[in-house]
Structure 1
Amino acid sequence: MNSITVKYRTKTHKLLAYEAMFRRILKEYWLNDSIVSAYKREKAGYDGERNVDYKLSTYPHKNLFIFQGLRLANPPFHFQIDTLLLTKKFICILEIKNKKGTFKYDSKQQQLTQEINGETKSFKDPILQAEAQKAHLVSWMENKAKYNIPIETLVVVAFPSTIIENVREDPDVYKKIIHNESLHQHLDRLNNNFTEEQFTKADLRNLCKTLLHEDTALRTDLLQKHHLTERHLIKGIPCERCQHYPMKRLYKKWQCPNCYSTSFKAHQRVILDYFLLHGPTITNKECREILQIDSPRTAHTLLNSMHLQHDGRNKGRKYYAPYMSDFPQNSSFPHINSSIFEGPLFF
């Protein structure tokens, strides 16, 4: 029996919001170096984590429970764990690195440098980063779960083409910074190091429930971050075929006045993008503004058709965004030439 994934990785709010931004931003603004570079970094991180997810999915261990991406509160802070592994004998934190080129780790200086295309960059010590997450998790466990169990950390380099140089040839580093391809062997090593079971099946089930309940997604205001306002954004629904906007509401469907293509659900992506870029709620008035329609009744019908949670009555009613895991995971950049991103954009 293979390992069990309790929480599957979905795109972060930031990544989804960048994709929403590219769908909503006016064409003359989307080729912005800071926005494109930030998106590429976020997407590369996600791709690296997915590489590790796939490797873990093939690990034959019946008592391994996997959480792909967790954000937990350890007041006054939150801490993020790329991947958390639970077994009966120990817990393991995976800190996933997605950089390419050559990594040089100096355990004496506690410094990581990356060399790629003749350029050298310095980064935070990934081992110390993983140890900081461990300290947060120990504190969280004491407060929330009341368990005391060994916690190990591994820094996993996601891409096999990345060269790892252990500058001091420190034997401990070879066990701390690893390639994704050797992940199974290192998990076997840890499993053999710990002989006593610390958790019962009931303990594992309870801890899994607590982790899922305490997981909190981070929201990022990308419009503010990149100094964008409503004047930078498309008004209404763009046609998926010819990109003309806005589409017009005619007889319970949307029609493009330029190419005459139609859609029954074109409003849904625009409303979801509003949640990602503007906040977790939307009103009837805000819905009419983003869809460029006049009828409050039509807006009411469209919002209710999406089965969104809501409260309030009449003009005071607010509709709430779905859970992050329920947002569409497919990328869609209708008017963007994907070659500018230097690599695959789509999974």
Structure 2
Amino acid sequence: MNDFLLAGMIAAERLPAAHESKTAVLSELKNSLAGASGEQRTASLLKRELDLPGEAIFLSDVHIPYKDGAAQIDLLLVHKEFVCVLEVKNMIGEFYFDTVNFQFHRVVDGRREGMRNPEAQLHRAVRAASGFLGVPVQGVIVLASRSGKVVEAPKHYPVVSLDYLPFHLEQLANGLKLFDTAALASKLENLPARNFSHHWLERHNITFDSLRLGVTCPTCRTCSLDWQERKWNCGVCGFYSRGAHEVTLQEYALLFGSELDTRLAYRLLGVKNKYVLYRLLEKTAPQSEVRGKRQIVENRELLRDYFGRIYR
């Protein structure tokens, strides 16, 4: 799970139903989950069945600087004989690529839906990767769902089904060692982390005060826990835990940054006693050098584990 997907999960859980962006957030999360599922199936299949000489390095959710922004790449395969961008589409329906105007639409149950053109997305990603790495880069559109069918094919890039993808990639190998895979992969892995949160929150008009605050019960997921007798307790389902607040702190860090104002911490966790707050934050968000500020010790794996159990 990348940060974008985690942010959608947090907002879906904490935004009240009346919030203006609740429907949009839920719809965006549904599409993101479908896309992530397709990318995961693609990566798993290639790691299991792709037969290439030497090591093949797979990088997922890569953001490469391009012009005034960044190009997002679903999956990037780096091999000594070729480099290939995989634009994965986990969609159903009949697909039509307009090779004159470079538009794209699909037909599902008789309904025509205009969408972003996967070929244009792939072309942008290929140019960004090639320019950043300084090497020629291939590209392919991958249909991760067996319920998708191409009626009119794109002009510049191939479209292949997931089942055929290993064979397609194997045909790109030419028997020559052209690239230093370790050097290329290192250059990509050392790219700075993408900070999307400010723009995403602004686009959906999400602020700290628009969220349901408190430590979420992982069982009920719609109510907050109370701190009683040195543990978090749910008055609805009976759940209890000593460390449930750690997920809440990680949620805040992902959305708003790791610096936490002590005054906000009371509201975030839903506690009033300063001694309780200090004990809860002693290791997970120690005091910083700035008075009244704390620094959350970031741990994305904690969030991935928490939401991984919810969105299995």
Q: Could you report, residue by residue, the CA deviation over 1:229-276 in whole angstroms, capped at 9, with x for unpaired residues?
A: 455432322444556854332343122355654211121222122223
Which residue, 79, 83, 96 being the options, matches 1:104? Answer: 96
Name the Cα RMSD after superposition.
Answer: 3.0
2:176 corresponds in structure 1 to: 196
Partner of 1:5: none
**Could you tell which deviates more after superposition, 39-48 or 277-286?**
277-286
- Compare relative contact order (CA 8 Å, sep 6+) and give the higher one, 1 or 2: 1
Q: Give the superposition deviation at 1:211.
A: 1.2
Whether contact under 8 Å (1:20, 1:276) holds in the other structure is no
Q: TM-score, normalised by structure 2?
A: 0.85
Alignment correspondent of 2:283: 305
Provide the secondary structure at the position in 2 that maps to 1:156: strand
Which amino acid in the other structure matches residue 220 of structure 1? Answer: S
Letter in 2 for 1:17: A
Cα distance in structure 1, aligned partners of 2:235 and 2:113: 51
- CA shift in 2, pair 1:243/1:36, >3 Å: closer
What SS does the aligned partner of 2:51 have?
A: coil
Question: For residue 92 of structure 2, what is the amino acid of its counterpart?
Answer: K
Q: Please say if residues 102 and 116 of structure 1, whose CA atoms lie closer than 8 Å, have aligned partners that are also in contact.
A: yes
**Contact 1:283–1:319 (CA<8 Å) still a contact in 2?**
no
Who is 1:150 aligned against?
A: 136
User: What residue is the counterpart of 2:252 in the other structure?
Assistant: 274
**Cα displacement string for residues 73-95 of structure 1 (whole angstroms, at most 9, x for unaligned residues):** 24532221111111111111111
Q: Which residue of 2 aligns with 1:315?
A: 292
Q: Would you say 1:236 and 2:218 are equivalent positions?
A: no
Answer whether contact 1:235 1:245 (CA < 8 A) is retained: no
User: For structure 1, which segment, 239-248 or 211-220, has the greater mean C-alpha deviation from structure 2 after superposition?
Assistant: 239-248
Matched residue, 1:145? none
Is 2:83 the counterpart of 1:88?
Answer: no
- Residue of structure 2 aligned with 1:264, choices 242, 247, 250: 242
- Residues 281 and 320 of structure 1 are in contact (CA less than 8 Å); yes or no, is this contact kept in structure 2? no
> What is the Cα deviation at residue 31 of structure 1?
9.9
Which stretch of the first structure deviates more once superposed, 108-117 or 244-253?
244-253
Q: Secondary structure at the match of 1:36?
A: helix
Task: Confirm or deny: 8 A CA contact 1:48 1:96 kept in the other structure.
Answer: yes
Provide the residue aligned with 2:303 in structure 1.
327
Pair 1:71 & 2:58 matched: no
Q: Distance in 1 between matches of 2:39 and 2:287?
A: 34
What SS is found at the alignment partner of 1:95?
strand
Q: Give 2:5's aligned residue.
A: 15
Aligned residues: 309
Greater shift in the superposed pair: 155-164 or 310-319: 310-319
CA deviation vs aligned residue, 1:261-296 (integer Å, no higher than 9, x gap): 421112122212222333343233322211111234
Structure 2 vs 1, CA of residues 271 and 316 (structure 1 numbering), >3 Å: closer, same or farther?
Answer: closer
Q: Structure 2: which amino acid aligns with 1:66?
A: F
Question: Helix, strand or coil: the match of 2:202?
Answer: helix
1:141 maps onto 2:123 in alignment: no
Structure 1: 5+ residue stretches without partners: 1-10, 143-148, 334-344
Question: Aligned letter for 1:49?
Answer: E
Tell me if 1:40 matches 2:30.
Answer: yes
Q: AA paired with 2:232?
A: W
Q: Which residue of 2 aligns with 1:346?
A: 311
Letter in structure 2 aligned against 1:160: R
Letter in 2 for 1:179: S
Instruction: Letter of the 1:82 partner, please give it.
Output: D
How much identity, in percent, do the aligned residues show?
21
In structure 1, give the amino acid aligned to 2:24. S
Q: What does residue 146 of structure 1 align with?
A: none
1:51 to 41, 44, 56: 41
The separation in 2 between residues aligned to 1:207 and 1:321, in whole angstroms, is 28
Work out whether residues 66 and 85 of structure 1, in 8 Å CA contact, stay in contact via their aligned partners in 2: yes
Q: Give deviations 1:57-83, integer Å, cap 9, x for gaps.
A: 212333211112211224532221111
* TM-score, normalised with respect to structure 1: 0.77
Q: 1:73 to 1:257 in 2, by over 3 A?
A: same
Give the deviation of 1:206 after TM superposition: 2.3
Amino acid paired to 2:74: D
**Is 2:151 the counterpart of 1:159?**
no
Task: Point out where structure 2 has 5 or more consecutive residues left out of the alignment.
Answer: none
